Amino acid sequence: MNEGIEIIKSYLKNLGTNPGVYRMIDSDENVLYVGKAKNLSNRVKSYTNLRGQSYRIAKMISLTRSMEFVSTHTEVEALLLEANLIKRYKPRYNILLRDDKSFPYILIDKTHPSPRVLKHRGAKKKDGYYFGPFASVSAVNASLNILQKAFSLRTCSDSIFNSRSRPCLLYQIKRCSAPCVGKISEKDYDALVNEAHDFLSGRSDSIKRRFTEKMNEASNQQQYELAAVYRDRLKALVAVQSRQDATNGKLEEADVIAAYKDGGQTCIEVFFYRAGQNWGNKAYFPRHDMDQQIGEILPAFISQFYDNKMAPKKILINSSIKQKALLEEALSMNAGHKVKITMPQRGANLLLVEMVEKNAREALERRVAETASQTKLLAGVADLFDLDSPPNRIEVYDNSHISGTSALGAMIVAGPEGFEKNAYRKFNIKSEDLVPGDDFGMMREVMTRRFKRQLREDPDRNAPTWPDLLLIDGGKGQLSAVCSVLEDLGLTDIPVVSIAKGPDRNAGREDFYLPGKSPFKLPPNDPVLYYLQRLRDESHRFVIGSHRTKRAQKMHKSLLDGLPRVGAVRKKALLMHFGSAKAVSDAAINDLQKVDGISQALATQIYDYFHP
């Protein structure tokens, strides 16, 4: 403790009184804590007096062996930088938002004369109208479904659009107006695009009135098929409005954020309201110390949550928070418009916040129940495989290939909180010595690369990324391959189990192999068996999905793509002369020279490329 205090004191003599961000670092160069200060000198000085400090802060001080500082012009800049550094370093003593993926949007793409509507995630680089964020892809899909029913906008890619010679199935089922083959004029299609824009902007009532008028007009003129089209569009709009039962009609653009804490854990529920509609919700479970209260947790969550996304004009919360004005100024600077954070005291907004808080409480109760069930299953795994304690990190490995091509290995990770998807890894099989389809050789390569790197990065084995159990998809051969690699690396203390598919690949009749033991089966209704099957099935899903992606990418590549000094023109000339990329790779130097633009030197270079 005294050593930590003296180290902190040593920085005070050269520290200014300006705003900034500081990092507290331990003996292994790991960032313990990132903090911001209006006055760096005063803030750091507060750590040299243990009186009034919590156990958490006192422990952090005792571990501190160095500090780093970044000065900023204002406290607002310090707050924005603090959120960014917390997400980068994930310090153990900070409140941490663990799941911070970007949210999907709906994009009306204006880069084509007949704009299409599609899902979008990431930077807003395309010219078009963006609507969102939506809480999940399923919420986007539901809205796209409504847009197709109500406005018949195209969803196909430009390449498919340009290659159509007749309408697709979506036109037959009245989900697309088929601008690709001229079934609708450009003017009428633009009108549909504008109506979809108005709907997503919250002007659905005026659209409903227009649809009603057009339906009645078509009916009066005995154009009953056209009237039915408008009737179906009206039904689609009414259906989406009827699902917005939790919407406050006056809430045009806002996020409603409510936190609920119980038993040392917190759930923060976020509801997205745009254009007067509820565009979904998501629950978060930030990491924090048990003694930290909602008034401290909520502002830390908000600053990290909006670090990489634009905040709406209004944020409703269920608790008073520290430095609200500072947080509003920081969010406004990031978003480019004024952001107001309010805690409603009465009326419809208060009812809405209470509803969101109820969702947070129920989500936390479900998580606690799931965690208890998960803990019980991990204890069962420990008993089954004779482990010293329930595993905190289980790594599951699987391979995928087609006759040896596009070979890929994959690792998934599971623990007390379920699947840890940010820890999943893919391994492109690189060894040229492997016989195509050699599963044992592939597993050896994956294990060698995984644990050589782990040993290089953490030779003392202190990091939490070391597994407590390896689960291998396969039989005795895969188990032997893995054990031989671990033995070569001196890692014989890591427990390894392989799970082989049962007769006729029947689930429930799997064989389990452990080093030095006879294979055994589990009772068909054993909960631990179901859990291990889920782990194995998740590894299948991940590796097969990754393999399909790799195979699809490879299908779009040509043998000629890697040729040096061969651009599009020469590539076309080679293909026109030989008929295929395979014929080019088999051609002799003399034949290659006969192609326009291919000199003797280049022909030799192309030949050497295919015949190393």
List pLDDT tens digits, range 544-572.
887 777 666 665 556 677 677 788 888 88
Q: Following DSSP, what letter does each residue of 292-341 receive, concatenated?
A: --HHHHHHHHHHHHTSSS---SEEEESS--TTHHHHHHHHHHHHTS--EE
**Residue 243 confidence (pLDDT):** 47
Question: Distance (Å, rounded) from C-alpha 44 to C-alpha 10?
Answer: 11
CB distance 307 to 84 below 8 Å: yes
H or E segment and range at residue 147: helix 137-151
CB distance 210 to 138 below 8 Å: no
> Architecture of 2-89 per CATH?
3-Layer(aba) Sandwich (3.40)
Q: Does position 612 have pLDDT exceeding 90, yes or no?
A: no
- CATH, domain 568-610, list 1.10.150.20, 3.30.300.30, 1.10.10.10, 3.40.50.620: 1.10.150.20
Interval 306-352: pLDDT, tens: 988 888 999 999 999 988 999 999 999 988 899 999 999 988 899 99
Written out in words, the top-level CATH class of the domain with range 394-554 is: alpha beta
Q: Which structure tokens are listed for 411?
A: 């690792």
Interval 213-270: pLDDT, tens: 888 888 888 888 778 877 877 776 665 554 444 445 567 789 999 999 988 889 999 9
CATH of domain 253-365: 3.30.420.10
**Residue 245 confidence (pLDDT):** 46
**Residue 555 confidence (pLDDT):** 54
CB distance 99 to 367 below 8 Å: no
Tell me the one-letter amino acid at 514.
L
Q: Which residue has the tokens 């068996």?
A: 529
**Reported confidence tier of residue 100, pLDDT bands at 50, 70, 90:** low
Q: What is the mean pLDDT of the chain?
A: 86
Per-residue HEC secondary structure of 468-504 comes to CEEEEECCHHHHHHHHHHHHHCCCCCCCEEEEECCHH
Beta strands in 44-124, from DSSP E residues, in sequence order: 66-71, 105-109, 116-120
Start-to-end CA distance of the chain, whole Å, equals 63
Q: Is 347 left (phi over 0), alpha (psi -120 to 50) or beta?
A: left
Q: Look at 414 and 371; give whichever has higher pLDDT.
A: 414
**Reported confidence tier of residue 486, pLDDT bands at 50, 70, 90:** very high
Looking at the chain, the whole-number percentage of residues with pLDDT higher than 90 is: 36
CA geometry: angle 99, 104, 109, nearest 5 deg: 155
Q: Does position 498 have pLDDT exceeding 90, yes or no?
A: yes
Q: Does position 380 have pLDDT exceeding 60, yes or no?
A: yes
Q: Look at 480 and 248; give whichever has higher pLDDT.
A: 480
Closest CA to 608 of 585, 591, 590: 585
**Residue 406 confidence (pLDDT):** 66
Name the packing angle between helices 186-200 and 137-151 (round to 10°). 140
Identical fold at 2-89 and 253-365? no
Enumerate the domain spans of the chain. Answer: 2-89, 105-242, 253-365, 394-554, 568-610
Interval 117-158: pLDDT, tens: 888 888 788 888 888 888 778 778 877 887 788 788 888 888
* Peptide bond between residue 133 and the one before it cis (omega within 30 degrees of 0): yes
**Residue 491 confidence (pLDDT):** 92
**Residue 506 confidence (pLDDT):** 59
**Contacting residues for 402 by C-beta, under 8 A, at least 6 apart:** 547, 551
Looking at the chain, the whole-number percentage of residues with pLDDT higher than 70 is: 92
Average pLDDT of the residues in 176-192: 90
Question: Distance (Å, rounded) from C-alpha 270 to C-alpha 595?
Answer: 63
DSSP reduced 3-state for 266? strand
Interval 443-466: pLDDT, tens: 999 999 999 999 998 888 888 899
